[in-house]
Amino acid sequence: MNQKVIFLANQSDAAVPPMPPAAADAADGNVRDRLQRPLHDLRISVTDRCNFRCVYCMPKEVFGKDYPFLPHAALLSFEEITRVARLFIAHGVEKIRLTGGEPLLRKDIETLIAQLAALRTRSGRPLDLTLTTNGALLAKKARALKEAGLARVTVSVDSLDDATFRRMNDADFPLAKVLQGIDAAHAVGLGPIKINMVVKRGMNDHEIVPMARRFKDTPFILRFIEYMDVGASNGWKMDEVVPSAEVVRRIDAELPLQPIAANYAGETAERWRYRDGGGEIGLISSVTRAFCRDCTRARLSTEGKLYTCLFATGGHDLRALLRGGASDDQIAATIGGIWRARADRYSELRADGGAGPAQKKIEMSYIGG
């Protein structure tokens, strides 16, 4: 078992709250937290392992060959994940994103996708079922993912310059293979495909405009993500963050842009379109423009802990309930109670200078990005 995770679990896990009363939370019956935010999205981390060592996420010096990744028995099984997902859906979840670590490394991931794709939302619709991947295995797996029922994918690409790309993934992985993966996903209809670029000043910010140019006039939606202070190992510094406003300014100077409305309340990305009709881009400004008030996301870690914020220092152990004989009603009530007690708004507090610097944060590769 992962020593680091045991430490975190023992030191800082919040106690699972007592069973809450089974009261309706809103007119639609969906659960709401203390800031009146519904539970709409569930991100499920299916593995804490990855074949990349992105400098901003799993730096090699920390995630070396002796790093204590979780043993297989600690991971939620596909049946456990599907059971929990069904109980989250009962509280109003409509969107599920599989993530990690690198989700395509999880053996037989298609089997899990098929199980999740068979679930229906409270209103009887198919889930919005998606997956975030580094794209390394996408060319090989795209067809099987589609056939299993995956709706679409988001692929992380931090640079179009092969040398920069390899430097950022720090696994010497070639860009061309990821681009082949994107094409394969597009060919089988896993769209609309989003491309995520984490911008780190001095590392790949010179690639902002080339990336915009490359994905303009294509069916792919490029999203620029501000480099975040997630986890405790990436040595984050504010001056390495390129604010979204600067990203927009730099692109707009060459490819004129105008803002457009969000698709729905709670959308993480701010949207801009090219004035010449060449498509749109998204900006995810977790550092400079916190969007906590609209945050409707819960995260289920690889070993079944529920986190109500990316920056939480502790999770709630659902695996213990799953493996301890709890009924569906008991687990659903526990999930509801945890969400009702939620008041997280780390990014807003950070922006106000109020987020505690001494917090021991969980790594993104474990909690799920």
Give 173-240 as a DSSP string: --HHHHHHHHHHHHHHT--S-EEEEEEBTTTTGGGHHHHHHHHTTSS-EEEEEE----SSSS---GGG
Q: Which is nearer to ligand SF4, 39 or 321 (CB)?
A: 39
- Of 91, 305, 345, 361, which one interacts with ligand SF4 (CB under 6 A)? 345
The one of ligand SF4, ligand SAM, none whose footprint includes residue 58, by CB under 5 to 8 A per kind, is ligand SF4
Q: Which of 153, 155, 193 is nearest to 173 (CA)?
A: 155
- Of 8, 58, 70, 153, which one interacts with ligand SF4 (CB under 6 A)? 58
The one of ligand SAM, ligand SF4, none whose footprint includes residue 251, by CB under 5 to 8 A per kind, is none
- CA-CA distance, 325 to 49, in Å (whole number)? 29
Amino acid sitting at position 318: L
338 binds ligand SF4 (CB under 6 A): no
What is the closest distance, in whole angstroms, from the C-beta atom of residue 311 to ligand SF4 in the complex?
A: 5
Task: Candidates 5-13, 236-244, 290-298, 320-328: pick the segment binding ligand SF4 (CB under 6 A).
Answer: 290-298
Please, what is the end-to-end C-alpha distance for the chain in angstroms? 22
What is the closest distance, in whole angstroms, from the C-beta atom of residue 270 to ligand SAM in the complex?
A: 15
Which DSSP symbol is given to 15? Answer: P
The one of ligand SAM, ligand SF4, none whose footprint includes residue 291, by CB under 5 to 8 A per kind, is ligand SF4
The one of ligand SF4, ligand SAM, none whose footprint includes residue 345, by CB under 5 to 8 A per kind, is ligand SF4
Q: Which is nearer to ligand SF4, 93 or 292 (CB)?
A: 292
- Of 134, 244, 285, 334, which one interacts with ligand SF4 (CB under 6 A)? 134
- Listed in sequence order, the residues at least 6 apart from 231 whose beta carbon sits closer than 8 Å to its beta carbon are 57, 361, 362, 363, 364, 365
Which DSSP symbol is given to 21? Answer: P
313 binds ligand SF4 (CB under 6 A): no
Q: Where are the alpha helices (DSSP H) in the chain?
A: 3-12, 78-90, 109-117, 138-148, 162-169, 175-188, 208-215, 244-252, 318-323, 328-340, 346-351, 364-367
CA 292, 297, 302, 305 torsion: positive or negative?
positive
Q: What count of other Cβ atoms lies within 10 Å of the Cβ of residue 34?
A: 11
Please, which residues bridge with residue 299 across strands?
43, 307
The one of ligand SAM, ligand SF4, none whose footprint includes residue 292, by CB under 5 to 8 A per kind, is ligand SF4
- Listed in sequence order, the residues at least 6 apart from 244 whose beta carbon sits closer than 8 Å to its beta carbon are 224, 226, 270, 283, 284, 285, 288, 289
Task: Candidates 13-21, 123-131, 200-208, 339-347: pick the segment binding ligand SF4 (CB under 6 A).
Answer: 339-347
311 binds ligand SF4 (CB under 6 A): yes
Binding letters toward ligand SF4, positions 1-40, x by CB under 6 A: ----------------------------------------
What is the closest distance, in whole angstroms, from the C-beta atom of residue 269 to ligand SF4 in the complex?
A: 12
Q: How far is residue 345 CA from its own chain's centroid?
A: 17
Task: Write out the residues near ligand SAM by the rule CB under 6 A.
Answer: 50, 56-57, 99-100, 102, 132-134, 156, 196, 198, 225, 227-228, 230, 234, 364-365, 369
- Of 38, 92, 100, 336, which one interacts with ligand SF4 (CB under 6 A)? 100
Q: Which is nearer to ligand SAM, 318 or 364 (CB)?
A: 364
101 binds ligand SF4 (CB under 6 A): yes
- Of 173, 227, 339, 346, which one interacts with ligand SF4 (CB under 6 A)? 346
Please, which residues bridge with residue 132 across strands?
154
- CA-CA distance, 208 to 285, in Å (whole number)? 15
Residue nearest to ligand SAM (CB): 369
- Listed in sequence order, the residues at least 6 apart from 236 whose beta carbon sits closer than 8 Å to its beta carbon are 56, 227, 228, 229, 230
Please state the φ and ψ torsions of residue 97, each to the nearest 5 degrees: -120, 125
The one of ligand SAM, ligand SF4, none whose footprint includes residue 234, by CB under 5 to 8 A per kind, is ligand SAM
Q: Which residues contribute to the site for ligand SF4 (CB under 6 A)?
A: 50, 52-54, 57-58, 100-102, 134, 156, 291-292, 295, 297, 309-311, 344-347, 365
